[in-house]
Amino acid sequence: MSVRRSIQKQSLRRSGSHPLSIALTFKRTLPKGQPAGHFPQYCARWRFMKIDASGLPSRDVDALLQQLSVVSRKLSLLEEVCIDVGTNGLLRSTDTFAVADSLRRVDLRRSVLFQTPIDERRLTHLSATLTHLSDVEHIMSFPSITECHISVYRPIFQSSSPIRVTNERNIWFSTNDTQILDTVTLPTLQTLRIAGCRAESDVLTAFILRSACKLQSFVTDTSSGVRLDDLSSVKKLTVHVNRENIVFSLFHQLMCPRTLPRLCELAITISPNFVMYAKTVVDVLRKRMETQAVSLMLMCADHDSRIIKQLKHMG
């Protein structure tokens, strides 16, 4: 037995009957024998489980999920699970979490939901991938769901009849496909995140009007189809600048003080390739400061701080 495996067994024994937090990372290949080691023996005490298998080839993902299946129906304490199987495991599935009485948070972002049954009775937070629009209706029926991160795997399969479902508990919603917004009405929504896609303006506008929600925070990495005039209740705007000119019109919309009249916090994530936006950011802030105070949070992946220096130089 390896020294590491021996230490693990001793630690597990010493933990007595206390709940366990388990985190496993697999980089290139699975270890021989039992990939998850001794941990499945203690599954009745798992409270938090995180598995990073994003670096594994497909056959190893299959083997890992197969071993996990032995703990099915034995996870009475499990509250939170996060499994990343990477792109090689995107279409894989597991029934490990179909019965888990205490489950509240599930992050299976790279696993297709309709192939991965989960115990939704107490579920409040969900991240998953969809291939069918009908899955949206299924998610919105979860009795306690308040936060959803929904990714769409192309091509998404349409429903035979139009889907329109209302959820009066959801306060946080994220998607990489605005087509999803055409299927839901979320009157209690406070935070909306649209990233990784080009927003369709008519869909976004119709969603906001239909939901009549008091949106507090909007997060995006695109300006395509985004009309900030439709988001008058927003107090915090977060913009991720990661593609050339993709958010340029958002900054120009902000130049008008009547746009987002309640805005008090502007958060911008910007890479060193987009130093040219520094002047635009300063112009926006100066214009906004004429009528209201706005807090700026600037996150730069910029080791030599060129953007920060340029902003300071511009005042």
Given this model, what pLDDT does residue 3 score? 46
Which one has a higher pLDDT value, 69 or 199? 69
Residue-wise pLDDT tens digits, 266-304: 888 877 666 666 677 777 777 777 777 778 787 766 554
pTM over 0.75, yes/no: yes
Given this model, what pLDDT does residue 102 score? 96
- Annotate 45-86 with DSSP letters as a single string: GEEEEEEE-TTS-HHHHHHHHHHHGGGTT--TT--EEEEE-T
Which residues, other chains included, contact 137 with Cβ-Cβ below 8 Å and sequence gap of 6+? 163, 165, 183
Q: How far apart are CA 78 and CA 178, in angstroms?
A: 32
Q: Is the per-residue pLDDT at 239 higher than 50?
A: yes
Q: pLDDT category, 158, cuts 50, 70, 90?
A: low
Given this model, what pLDDT does residue 113 score? 64
Tokens for 149, please give them.
């991160």
Region 199-219: mean pLDDT is 90
**Whole-number CA gyration radius for the chain:** 23
β pairing state of 125-132 and 172-175: unpaired
Region 250-278: mean pLDDT is 81
Query: Each residue of 130-168: b (16+ CB within 10 Å) or e?
Result: bbbbbbbeebbebeebbbbbbbbbeeeeeeeeebeeebe
Average pLDDT, rounded, for the chain = 82
Which one has a higher pLDDT value, 76 or 179? 76
Given this model, what pLDDT does residue 1 score? 43
Taking each helix axis as running N to C, give the angle between helix 277-289 and helix 306-314, from 0 to 180 degrees, rounded to the nearest 10. 40
Residue-wise pLDDT tens digits, 20-66: 998 988 887 887 766 566 778 888 999 999 989 888 888 888 888 88
Q: Are the CB atoms for 77 and 44 separated by under 8 Å?
A: yes
Beta bridge partners of 23: 50
Q: Is the per-residue pLDDT at 243 higher than 90?
A: no
- Lowest model confidence (mean pLDDT) among 19-33, 118-132, 140-154: 19-33
Region 261-266: mean pLDDT is 90
